[in-house]
């Protein structure tokens, strides 16, 4: 009998396939296997004999992987399972940065009850005018499950798309996303693109990769999108660049204290994977991975 513990209620979806040999425990300290979404496991006490942790999502920063490696605890994630949900929010982020949809909606809300709204609409048209995505250059850094979807969506929106990923060969990247330009140089992508979207894992190599030096190489008025992890961007440098107008908007799915309310920042409360479909896919995949490991010894992802 294996005991499992769910740290986030959403990770429970899919545990109905835990039949027979599985039993839920309310105590993490008694669990053989742990299912987690975004809760941090760093300060938690788990039992010595924990066998595996499954993260219903892509990033594993909330799990102390080094400790798990030392103790022989297998850590799974669910790459790709929420990619579509994240991609759709990235596209929404690009649209929010190009058209002042939020400003326009707020303007209408403030006019509630005013009989003049139709007359005043002409003013709003001027105040909230934006620009189109068609013909603009989109740079996608990281061509994993999400990056490839974002790149292909950019193409469908009529954008000229550049992809950069040092770990993917040009041939295989080309197969994944035929209509994008593959570049081997991050500098080239920085210099050419109007929109830059980052889709790489956060680690010691990528931490702070979007800093003053990177931003200096970018176009005036660039829009930067970060739906990966806040650590990838040096936020002090980003604030400075937005003040100077070098960065028109920084669209981020990470509501850090520094970015909340900052002028030019469009901050979303980590909603990329918050769709019914993505939550279901991740939770089910996490359970499948645990079962496959416990019942057959398979280790994938």
- Whole-number minimum distance, CB 37 to ligand MLT, in Å? 5
Of 82 and 153, the one with the shorter C-beta distance to ligand MLT is: 82
The distance of closest approach from Cβ of residue 273 to ligand MLT in the complex, given in angstroms and rounded to an integer, is 4
* Least distance (Å) between residue 36 CB and ligand MLT: 9
Identify which of residues 7 and 193 has a Cβ nearer to ligand MLT in the complex. 7
CB of 55 to ligand MLT, least distance (A): 8
**Residue 173 neighbours by CB under 8 Å, 6+ apart:** 143, 163, 165, 180, 182
Question: In the block, which residue shows the tokens 């002090």?
Answer: 236
**57 vs 264, which CB is nearer to ligand MLT?**
57
Within 8 A by CB and 6+ apart from 261, the residues are: 267
Binding site for ligand MLT (CB under 6 A): 37-38, 57-59, 82, 270, 273
Minimum CB separation from ligand MLT for residue 125, in Å? 36
Q: Give least dist CB 152 to ligand MLT, A.
A: 19
Minimum CB distance to ligand MLT smaller for 38 or for 183? 38
User: Which CB, 238 or 283, lies closer to ligand MLT?
Assistant: 283
H/E element, 140: strand 137-141
Cα angle vertex 275, ends 150, 96, to 5°?
Answer: 50
Q: What phi and psi, each to the nearest 5 degrees, are found at residue 169?
A: -70, 150
The whole-angstrom separation of Cα 275 and Cα 16 is 20
Here the tokens at position 190 are 């920085």
As a whole number of angstroms, the longest Cα–Cα distance in the chain is 70
Nearer to ligand MLT, 39 or 212 (CB): 39
Secondary structure of the chain: what % helix, strand, coil (to 5)?
A: 40, 15, 45
φ, ψ at 24 (rounded to 5°)? -80, 140
Residue 115: φ, ψ to 5°: -75, -10
Pick 41 or 193: Cβ nearer ligand MLT: 41
Backbone angles phi, psi at 267, to 5 degrees: -110, 125
Please, where are the H alpha helices in the chain? Answer: 65-71, 83-98, 101-110, 117-127, 145-156, 170-176, 186-192, 212-216, 235-244, 276-296
Q: Quote the least distance from Cβ 163 to ligand MLT, whole Å.
A: 20
Nearer to ligand MLT, 190 or 227 (CB): 227
In the complex, the smallest distance separating the C-beta of residue 22 from ligand MLT, rounded to whole angstroms, is 23
């Amino acid at each position: 009998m294996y005991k499992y513990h769910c740290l986030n209620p959403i990770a429970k979806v899919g545990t109905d396939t835990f039949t027979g040999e599985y039993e839920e425990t309310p105590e993490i300290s008694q669990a053989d296997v742990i299912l987690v979404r975004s809760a941090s496991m760093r300060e938690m006490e788990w039992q010595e004999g924990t066998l595996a942790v499954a993260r219903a999502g892509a990033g594993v920063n909330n799990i102390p992987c080094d400790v798990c490696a030392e103790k022989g605890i297998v850590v799974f994630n669910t790459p790709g399972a929420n990619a579509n949900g994240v991609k759709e929010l990235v596209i929404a982020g690009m649209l929010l940065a190009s058209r002042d949809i939020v400003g326009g909606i707020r303007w209408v809300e403030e006019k509630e009850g005013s009989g003049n709204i139709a007359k005043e609409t002409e003013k709003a048209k001027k105040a909230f005018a934006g620009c189109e995505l068609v013909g603009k250059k989109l740079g996608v850094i990281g061509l994993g499950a999400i990056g490839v979807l974002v790149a292909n969506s950019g193409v469908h929106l009529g954008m000229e798309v550049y992809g950069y990923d040092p770990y993917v060969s040009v041939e295989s990247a080309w197969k994944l996303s035929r209509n994008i330009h593959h570049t081997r140089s991050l500098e080239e992508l920085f210099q050419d693109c109007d929109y830059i979207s980052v889709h790489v894992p956060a680690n010691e190599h990528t931490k702070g990769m979007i800093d003053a030096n990177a931003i200096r190489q970018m176009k005036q008025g660039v829009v930067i999108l970060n739906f990966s992890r806040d650590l990838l961007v040096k936020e002090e440098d980003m604030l400075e660049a937005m003040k100077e107008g070098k960065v028109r908007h920084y669209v981020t799915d990470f509501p850090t204290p520094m970015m909340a309310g900052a002028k030019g920042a469009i901050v979303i409360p980590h909603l990329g994977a918050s769709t019914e479909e993505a939550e279901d896919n991740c939770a089910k995949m996490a359970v499948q991975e645990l079962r496959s490991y416990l019942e057959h010894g398979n280790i994938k992802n």
